[in-house]
Amino acid sequence: MLSSAGVAAQAARRRTFAVISHPDAGKSTMTEALALHARVIGQAGAVHGKGDRRGVVSDWMAMEQQRGISVTSAALQFSYGDTVINLLDTPGHADFSEDTYRVLTAVDSAVMLLDAAKGLEPQTLKLFEVCRQRRIPVITFINKWDRPGNDALALMDEIEQRIGLKPTPLTWPVGIAGQFKGVIDRREGTFIRMQRSPGGADLAIEEEMSDAEAAEQYGADWETATEELELLAMTGADHDQAAFLSATTTPVLFGAAVANLGVRQLLNILVELAPPPEARPTVAGTDKPVDSAFSGFVFKMQANMNRTHRDQVAFMRVCSGRFERGMIVTHSGTGRPFATKYAQQIFGQGRETIDEAFPGDVVGLVNATALGIGDTLYVSEQVQYPPLPSFPPEHFAVVRTDDTSAFKRFRRGIEQLDGEGVVQVLKSEQRGDLAVLAAVGPMQFEVATYRLETEFGVKVKLDHLPYEIAAITDAAGKEILRTESNVEVMTRVRDGALLAVFPHRWRMRTIAGRHPDLRLDAPMDTGQA
């Protein structure tokens, strides 16, 4: 039996973070580059697998490989020196915001990628705001500095002015975007010259140079960089660990993930500065210490990762104590016991059996059909962690199949997609047995129909409905709304909630104005303060 001090020591070795950004900023490429630098893969893949480069390990789903985008979050665990890294790659597209936001509940920090040419984009702004409200420390990596882009100082000003986080660069580029020579380590005062390896799939070629050597070789670029460093020093843009941990400043690094430039520096900074797991708040209002009895919560469900066995995996974040494979834990929602015989460490689509895990680790519980997103598991001391954030659906469609022989598979697939949170499944009295899919964005429908066809062998048709806003109502509200046109009340299968759906906000306000006692509440919790 490991002592509480032993558990605390193991927790201190963990770094659990998410890689987040706007689409196409390079999240999956960065995930691959970090794994390469930790020596857990031999060569870094490319998102589209061009040339001789394979695809990235985090985009394991066939649809992701075909489209070159991430449509589901992925977990990778590996060691870097004495540190255990739990890295979560997330979808960048706004249509998959729910998946990304759930991941943010399971991490202790985040790496935000900014495209050097595009700067702060809409989804980036939203994610920064969520991290700040959840007080998640953010490290910013200015990516694609090997391509033409914005001025470095202008990007720092944009970060501070638009999101209110003070940028504190730890590395600074020599050479403008597109003419990247290397970075100056501001804390060490050293210059590291960087060159892309042939093909870009291997570690970058790095060489430390003296100031005199750099000045002689890079002339005007070196002079510009040193002048910019003086300006940063004058404005007090120096790293302060307490301010970083309180999510009021963001350390900044520069590089190019696809060429593995600046990635080693980022990995070292994560190990050095990112916070280890700490006590987590519970529904009861208390904080659960990392060295107390085991507890954890499920933040993601994923089925058919292994096409041979067609199993279902619950991704659980360990919050406290030592997890041991085979231990009997209690499901907080039902009070029932749950056996953890099949526990695995996740690395993209690959996985292997593990015998133990500690706070910060992500454990895959296989064949966990009794579990759902947001469930808390514990031993000994009862605990319940806060519910996970979810978003109000804005797109609705009836789903059907013409293949009567595939009805059982169709129904099983719909239930599975609902359980994973790929879409929400609703039922409506006026539509009989037909299921209605509800989504934050239309790409969720693409994922749902693709998976029904490829994983269950069922071709489906979607009949889109003319609604774009939903609100929770009650039985009395349902009766009131029967008298109104252009509105429909549906039951959410997952929890039985009644959702009133409207074609637009104006229609909802008009009806609410006629019926002052009508209950119309926000249908979801975004998890924001």
Task: Summarize the annotated binding site as residue ranges.
Answer: 89-93
CA distance 300 to 297: 9
* Residues shown for the chain: 529
What is the four-CA torsion angle of 378, 299, 44, 264, rounded to 10 degrees?
Answer: -70
Question: How far lies 362's CA from each of 74, 77, 263, 271, 494, in Å?
Answer: 11, 8, 23, 17, 25
CA pair distance 276, 291, nearest whole angstrom = 13
339 within 8 A of 366, measured Cβ to Cβ = no
Among residues 277, 314, 279, 284, which one has the least CA distance to residue 297? 314
CA distance 461 to 446: 11
- Indicate the pairing of strand 350-353 with strand 312-320: unpaired
Nearest to 230 by CA among 172, 151, 188: 172
Cβ atoms of 358 and 320 closer than 8 Å: no
Contact 398, 473 (CB under 8 A): no
Reported as type and span, the H/E element at residue 295 is strand 295-303
Joined together, the tokens standing for residue 453 give 């066809």
The conformation of residue 87, written as its DSSP 8-state character, comes to: E
The beta-strand segments (E) located in 340-456 are 343-347, 350-353, 356-357, 362-366, 376-378, 395-400, 424-428, 435-439
Is residue 527 within 8 A of residue 131, CB to CB? The reply is no
Q: How far apart are CA 435 and CA 323, in angstroms?
A: 39
Q: What tokens appear for 206 in the block?
A: 């790095």
Binding site for GTP: which residues? 89-93
